[in-house]
Amino acid sequence: MSLLSKRSNSSISWFRLGLTAIFLLSVTLRFWGLSRFNSLVFDEVYYAKFANNYLTNTPFFNAHPPLSQYIIAIGIWIGSHLPFGQDTVNSLTGSVRSTWSYRWLNALTGSLIPVVVGAVAYQLSRRRSYALIAALLAVLDGLFLVESRYALNNIYIVILGLLAQLFLLMALNKPTQQRRGILALSGVFFGACAATKWNGLGFLLGVYLVWAVVWIIHWVRKVLERLDVEIAQKGEGERGRGEEFVAVKPLKEKFSQTPLQNLRELNVFHILVNFAIIPILTYSLLWIPHLQMNPTPGFWQMQQEILNYHQNIGSGPEVHPYCSRWYSWPLMLRTIAYFHHAPNHNSEAVSLESPVTGGVANAIYDVHAMGNPVLWWLSTAAILLLLVLLVLRFKSSRSWKVPPTRATLVALYLVINWLANLLPWSLVSRCLFLYHYMCASVFASLALALVVDSLVQSNRREYQGIAIALILLIIIAFCFWMPIYLGLPLSVEGYQWRMWLRSWI
């Protein structure tokens, strides 16, 4: 017993050390050279300005809900009062601000995403190895790194949506009488996620669908069991009936305590209160500071104007050169250049007017919003593999009679949430961008981590070798493309080597 206790404590210690190391790597990558570009990068021209408007009490119209701008504004206020980070300043937000002030809180928030991803993975499986692999893959995603280093709003959608689902999973792991407060907190985070961008509702849609599917599986099993009983009573199918009930009983005992299985303990009242009423109240309350400064249009009219704004945006290269269709995102066919500064061949050094701080002569500075290609493509393959396995699992009526295993439930959770955050974009006609896939990509990455962890847990050395090779390949790819995530100086040739597809430029 003492030996088992020592092994358990050792496992926990290594898990904590590993997660801490991943977090420190995440922080380092996001804060390194955070003030490198003394300008407004990509949509910072909106969000950094809007955040500053709250601090200067300047009325404005925003085509998105206000929460992310509140957070950036808090970061600007705190950053403007700190004794460091003041070496590069500009007045592009409408006030004289340091670039560090409007970026640092995003960087800190983005640094936490791998930890939250790892926590979700652990709650799903109770496997520390899966949690560590999932957290590591989240650190090695280039798009999340780029989005974290600038005053943009997509990381807030992701982390708030993940926290909402994390608290739901934590609640399901608790006894029924201890769930109320945690479920309510989950609902608050769902409302906050929608108060950042409406597409954050994909996380909530995923919960509705997973809950409904778990109930459907349960109801179908009960119907089939009743049919078996009726057939047996008529003297038919005795052999099939005996085999089924022998198989079902041990599986039910073994897997009934998984957190996702406990979704059936949430009734319509729980769903209505925690995942409808509380999110709506949270969303509405978060508009109050904005409406106090901008009393017109009012709340309902503001929602209509936001909807009209997005409905009137066209699509195609004539609207924006980096528009992309939703079905191209899993293959990352069209990336986005957030910043590009080419060398000035008429001078030997970066000019004083250049937005590049401490630049290198005759170098290209490029920030590309793109995922780690190897990670991205393997994640897409992994989530599609889970989808195929689920189809095979439920293709026959006999398979519905067997309770879903832990692996089946986790696969359902990942696939359904991936689809819930991806497929609704097929109904949107406006210009879309690769970063709209971020919410779905989290679940594809979790699917890849699940596959890699399954290989690691295998007793066959060749499978373990494949898992290690995949992780090393992803790390190498991240290092190769890191200069265009961080905006590091590149030669013309170095830049071209990293643009594998013409559509990436």
The DSSP code sequence of 322-373 is T---GGGGGGT---EEEEEE---TTSSS--TT-SBTTPPTT-EEEEEE---H
Is pLDDT at 347 greater than 70 in this prediction? no
**Least confident span in 108-112, 163-167, 395-399:** 395-399
Give Cβ neighbours of residue 493 (< 8 Å, ≥ 6 apart). none
**Least confident span in 166-180, 237-251, 312-326, 387-401:** 237-251
Band of pLDDT at residue 377, cut at 50, 70 and 90: very high
Is pLDDT at 272 greater than 90 in this prediction? yes
pLDDT digits (tens, 9 = 90+) for 210-224: 999 999 988 888 887
Is pLDDT at 72 greater than 90 in this prediction? yes
Region 433-450: mean pLDDT is: 97
**Least confident span in 59-63, 205-209, 244-248, 281-285:** 244-248
Residue 68's pLDDT is what?
96
pLDDT digits (tens, 9 = 90+) for 179-198: 999 999 999 999 999 999 99
| Pairing relationship of beta strands 336-341 and 364-369 according to DSSP bridges | antiparallel
Count of other CB atoms within 10 angstroms of residue 121: 29
Residue 247's pLDDT is what?
37
Separation of alpha carbons 76 and 161, rounded Å: 24
Is pLDDT at 433 greater than 90 in this prediction? yes
Q: If DSSP codes are grouped into helix, strand and coil, which group holds residue 402?
A: coil
Is pLDDT at 230 greater than 90 in this prediction? no
Region 60-75: mean pLDDT is: 95
Is pLDDT at 244 greater than 50 in this prediction? no
Is pLDDT at 233 greater than 80 in this prediction? no
The pTM for the full model equals 0.90
| Pairing relationship of beta strands 336-341 and 489-490 according to DSSP bridges | unpaired
Highest mean pLDDT (candidates 228-232, 242-246, 477-481):
477-481
* Residue located via tokens 């404005």: 60
HEC per residue, 464-503: HHHHHHHHHHHHHHHHHHHHHHHCCEECHHHHHHHCCCHH
Residue 250's pLDDT is what?
37
On average, the pLDDT of the chain sits at 89
Residue 240's pLDDT is what?
46
Residue 344's pLDDT is what?
61
For 471-480, the CB contacts below 8 A with 24+ separation are: 471/133, 471/136, 473/374, 474/137, 474/140, 474/372, 474/374, 474/375, 474/378, 475/140, 476/374, 477/372, 477/373, 477/374, 477/375, 478/140, 478/142, 478/372, 478/375
Task: Give domain limits for the chain.
Answer: 2-220+255-306+318-504, 223-254
Region 220-235: mean pLDDT is: 77
Residue 13's pLDDT is what?
85
Residue 343's pLDDT is what?
72
